[in-house]
Amino acid sequence: MTAVAGIDVGGTKCLGVLFDGGKVVNSVRRPTPHADDLVSTLAEIARELGDYKTLGIGVPGLITPQGVVRESPNLVGAIELDLRTQLEAELGHEIDVESDATCAAHAEWQFGAGRGATDMWMVTLGTGIGGGCVSGSKLQRGSHGFAGEIGHMVVESQGLPCPCGQRGCWERYASGSGLATIAGGERGEEVIARAVAGDKEALGYLDTFGRWVAVGLVNLTNITDPDVIVIGGGLAEAADSVMPFVKKWFKELLYAPDNREHPELRVAQLGERAGAIGAALLSAGV
């Protein structure tokens, strides 16, 4: 048996993949449940994927090296959830639990848009914002496993309330839900469709949104000086519409933009499967 399995737990869906020979050979999708039903849902996905050698789970929030979900603002009810222990008991074998964005970063670094980078950020723009970091050609987890919670950088100290309990977090402005807020409640997909059609109001919303995305990317660049930043998550699917605004504001807001090398802003290549693929690879030690 050579196949490895990974499941990415998102704010709205759980996606499992069976990965073998560098390819996804099976996938299973389920709506993300309340935390009380998460273990049974993940076990169901794992069994449906088929035979695998190892299983990894990517989960949003503060994930300890022991697989405990300390806090996850976009996963209802997940506070001090000992996911690894409970799921191992349900399935009868060892599993690996990591931050979902760390998993996505690893997958894009190994097989996607981050190949060849020595210092890279993966930024996932979805329901919230996640991040994964490679520094000196090594995946970074931090001293407690919590590295990469970039969605909760405070960019507006008296700003919008965040589900995490703080105010003005970056993901309130630069995620999919952030775009909807900027557009007065209109869905991001609708804003992008109108912008593509040349609607000036929608283009203005995207310009504001692009500035907020760039604010966070500039902060990451000023702090860590990466050679590549990979933009993933649901909004990466609209890269042709969004990225021109992001790049414009990035160049304007970056410290000393004319006197330094800029990181290359790349769009993720593995799509919604990145987190699950990365979870599978990390579980197998790849």
**φ and ψ of 51, to 5 deg:** -70, 135
Residue written as token pair 């222990």: 85
Local structure of 31: helix, strand or coil: strand
Element (H, E) at 239: helix 239-253
Q: How confident is the model at residue 4 (pLDDT cuts 50, 70, 90)?
A: very high
Q: Are both 4-102+273-283 and 116-269 of the same fold?
A: yes
- How high does pLDDT run on average in the chain? 94
Instruction: Look at residue 126 in the predicted model and tell me its pLDDT.
Output: 83
Structure tokens at 129: 């914002």
pLDDT of 74 higher than 80: no
Q: Which span out of 39-43, 60-64, 234-238, 270-274 was modeled with the highest average pLDDT? A: 39-43
The string of pLDDT tens digits covering residues 142-200 is 998 889 999 999 999 999 999 888 999 999 999 989 999 999 999 999 999 999 999 99
Fold of 116-269: Nucleotidyltransferase; domain 5 (3.30.420)
pLDDT of 12 higher than 70: yes
Measure the CA dihedral 217/244/201/160, to 10°: -10
Exposed / middle / buried, residue 90 (Cβ in 10 Å: 0-12, 13-18, 19+): middle
Q: Which residues contact 116 (CB under 8 A, 6 or more apart)?
A: 228
pLDDT of 37 higher than 70: yes
Rounded (5°) CA angle 139-140-141: 125
Cα-Cα-Cα-Cα dihedral sign, residues 55, 60, 64, 70: negative
Q: How confident is the model at residue 263 (pLDDT cuts 50, 70, 90)?
A: very high
The pLDDT of 62-86, averaged and rounded, is: 90
Element (H, E) at 4: strand 4-9
Q: Please list the helix, strand and coil fractions of the chain in percent, rounded to the nearest 5, in that order.
A: 40, 25, 35
Q: How confident is the model at residue 75 (pLDDT cuts 50, 70, 90)?
A: confident
> In 3D, which of 85, 77, 91, 76 has the Cα closest to residue 42?
91
Q: How confident is the model at residue 16 (pLDDT cuts 50, 70, 90)?
A: very high
Q: Which CATH superfamily is domain 4-102+273-283 in?
A: ATPase, nucleotide binding domain (3.30.420.40)
Structure tokens at 204: 């203005």
Rg (CA), the chain: 18
The pLDDT > 90 percentage for the chain reads 81
Domain boundaries, the chain: 4-102+273-283, 116-269
Instruction: Look at residue 1 in the predicted model and tell me its pLDDT.
Output: 63
The string of pLDDT tens digits covering residues 240-259 is 999 999 999 999 999 999 99
The pLDDT > 70 percentage for the chain reads 100
